[in-house]
């Protein structure tokens, strides 16, 4: 079995694969879009087979799209709390902070902790999230329109 740890950022995701002993066996960085996620899944399946566990640091504002793409592809995903990842990085032999080091720490923390929460998305919660996201978009757009109107009114009649 191989565990693929991830370090997620707004623009890129870095993945590091480890074997059962925690030894690094691969590394990949992709853009933080669905095409990048597909590339990572293909990379992992081609190099390590289908018995994969994807370990994602639990920061859902950055990892939600990745998690959803992995689940839709039929992958097993576990959520690693940031505290566990930080402990693993602190005890590691490699010093410093980089995306591959963080992804490696996430993977090793997932190996060390067998009872991590398994990610899942049921259809109802996914639909509800889409509705909530749409509402937030509409509220944001309304706010922008009101601010723009107010600015135009100040330009027309400053007093």
pLDDT in tens, 110-128: 998 888 878 877 777 777 7
What does the DSSP assignment read for the chain?
-EEEEEEE-SSEEEEEEE-TT--EEEEEEEESSHHHHHHHHHHHHHHH-S-EEEEEES-HHHHHHHHHHHHHTT-EEEEEPHHHHHHHHHHSSS-S--HHHHHHHHHHHHHH-TTPPBP---HHHHHHHHHHHHHHHHHHHHHHHHHHHHHHHHHH---
Q: What is the mean pLDDT of the chain?
A: 87
- Those residues whose C-beta lies under 8 Å from the C-beta of residue 24, and which sit 6 or more positions away, are 16, 17, 18, 104
Q: How would residue 107 be classed by pLDDT, with cut points 50, 70 and 90?
A: very high
Give the count of beta carbons closer than 10 Å to the beta carbon of residue 104. 26
> Is the model's pLDDT at 133 over the cut of 60?
yes
> What would the mean pLDDT of 90-109 be, rounded to a whole number?
77
Q: Which of 51, 70, 50 is nearest to 8 (CA)?
A: 70
CATH number of 2-112: 3.30.420.10
* Minimum mean pLDDT range among 19-28, 71-80, 83-92, 123-132: 83-92
Name the percent of the chain lying above pLDDT 90.
53
What is the per-residue pLDDT for 36? 95
């Amino acid at each position: 079995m191989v565990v693929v740890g991830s370090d997620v950022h707004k623009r890129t995701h870095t993945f590091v694969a480890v074997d059962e002993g925690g030894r690094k066996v691969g590394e990949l960085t992709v853009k933080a879009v669905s095409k990048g996620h597909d590339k990572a899944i293909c990379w992992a399946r081609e190099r390590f087979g289908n018995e994969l566990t994807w370990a994602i640091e639990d920061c859902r504002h950055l990892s939600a799209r990745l998690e959803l793409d992995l689940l839709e592809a039929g992958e097993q995903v576990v959520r690693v709390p940031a505290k566990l990842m930080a402990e693993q990085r602190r005890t590691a032999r490699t010093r410093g902070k980089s995306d591959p080091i963080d992804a490696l720490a996430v993977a090793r923390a997932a190996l060390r902790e067998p009872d991590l929460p398994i990610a899942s998305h049921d259809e109802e919660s996914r639909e509800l999230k889409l509705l909530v996201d749409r509402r937030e978009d509409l509220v944001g757009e309304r706010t922008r329109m009101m601010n723009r109107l107010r600015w135009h009114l100040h330009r027309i009649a400053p007093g």
